[in-house]
């Protein structure tokens, strides 16, 4: 009986650890693991790297493109109530050598994009509603949001919790959170051009003046289960000044 009792206690403990954590508790642990206040309330983020573009998953010479310059500049908003709408300030650049493929800019008020003729075919896939979504997790602990734990899953070989966040605009975003590290392994949501999900890996700890910020070094983007882009972030800066000139159109 004593052995049986100990087995029951152990099983209950395991079940509690695996199944009894609420969505909010999981999100709170995610914030801590990702860098606490530094991660939850950043001011800026600059990323430089490369990207492999495979529209509709096609890898033939007519479709596949390698961008040896892929950049993102971000000034974060202080509030966010809509996961899939542009906010704060943001800019993406994609270039192959000295040839511009696309430049997407939102300066806090309006969008000014530059698209090559080739990129225009995929413009809807680069729209802000299909790019935003990840950052809403930083605000999900507020009363105006609804968070719910869904079925556990595996992402990239990692056991993950699934937390669904519904923002005040009723936009829904799903997050897959590593059950061991509590880092974010995946995010997904429905867009006008299909189901969009991203897979994050190769996390790097960026040290800051008052803590740290966990940033994935690899990001893979999918539409309807087909990989469209594989991004490798090689340089990362957090909470460092970004000139206002960055958010003006400069591509030729």
Q: How far apart are CA 242 and CA 51, in angstroms?
A: 22
CA proximity to 40, closest of 241, 247, 242, 239: 239
- Quote the pTM value: 0.89
Q: How far apart are CA 90 and CA 216, in angstroms?
A: 18
> Nearest 5 degrees, angle CA 157-CA 182-CA 241?
110
205-239 pLDDT tens trace:
999 999 999 999 999 999 999 999 999 999 999 99
Chain centroid to CA 110: 22
Residue 97 has pLDDT above 70, yes or no: yes
31-86 pLDDT tens trace:
999 999 999 999 999 999 999 999 999 999 999 999 999 999 999 988 878 778 78
- Could you give phi then psi for residue 227, rounded to 5 degrees? -75, 125
- Segment (H or E) for 22: none
Range with lowest mean pLDDT among 145-159, 205-219, 238-252: 238-252
pLDDT at 12: 47
Query: How large a percentage of the chain has pLDDT more than 90?
Result: 77
Specify the fold of 21-247: outer membrane lipoprotein receptor (LolB), chain A (2.50.20)
**Contacts of the segment 65-68: beta carbons below 8 A, 24+ positions apart:** 65/96, 65/101, 65/118, 66/96, 67/94, 67/95, 67/96, 67/101, 68/95, 68/96, 68/97
Residue with tokens 């056991």: 159
Check if the beta carbon of residue 52 is closer than 8 Å to that of residue 229. yes
pLDDT at 248: 87
pLDDT at 87: 85
Burial class (CB in 10 A: 0-12, 13-18, 19+), 110: exposed
24 φψ region: left (φ > 0), alpha (ψ -120 to 50), beta (else): alpha
CA proximity to 178, closest of 165, 167, 187, 169: 187
Pair of tokens at residue 54: 């495979």
Diameter over CA atoms, the chain = 78
pLDDT at 84: 85
């Amino acid at each position: 009986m004593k052995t049986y009792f100990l087995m029951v206690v152990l099983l209950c403990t395991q079940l509690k650890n695996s199944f009894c954590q609420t969505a909010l508790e999981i999100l709170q642990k995610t914030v801590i693991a990702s860098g606490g206040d530094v991660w939850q309330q950043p001011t800026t983020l600059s990323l430089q790297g490369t990207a492999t573009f495979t529209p509709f998953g096609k890898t033939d010479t007519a479709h596949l493109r390698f961008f040896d310059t892929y950049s993102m500049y971000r000034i974060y908003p202080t509030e966010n109530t809509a996961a899939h709408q542009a906010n704060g300030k943001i800019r993406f650049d994609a270039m192959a050598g000295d040839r511009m493929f696309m430049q997407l800019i939102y300066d806090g008020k309006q969008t000014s994009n530059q698209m090559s003729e080739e990129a225009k075919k995929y413009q809807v896939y680069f729209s802000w509603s299909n790019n935003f979504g990840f950052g809403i997790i930083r605000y999900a602990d507020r009363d105006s949001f609804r968070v719910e734990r869904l079925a556990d899953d595996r992402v990239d070989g990692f056991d993950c919790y699934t937390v669904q966040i519904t923002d005040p605009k009723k936009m829904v975003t799903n997050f897959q959170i590593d059950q061991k590290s509590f880092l974010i392994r995946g995010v997904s949501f429905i867009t006008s051009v299909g189901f969009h999900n991203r897979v994050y890996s190769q996390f790097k700890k960026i040290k800051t003046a008052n803590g740290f910020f966990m940033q994935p070094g690899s990001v893979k983007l999918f539409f309807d289960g087909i990989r469209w882009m594989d991004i490798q972030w090689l340089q990362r800066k957090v909470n460092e000044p970004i000139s206002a000139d960055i958010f003006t159109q400069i591509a030729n």
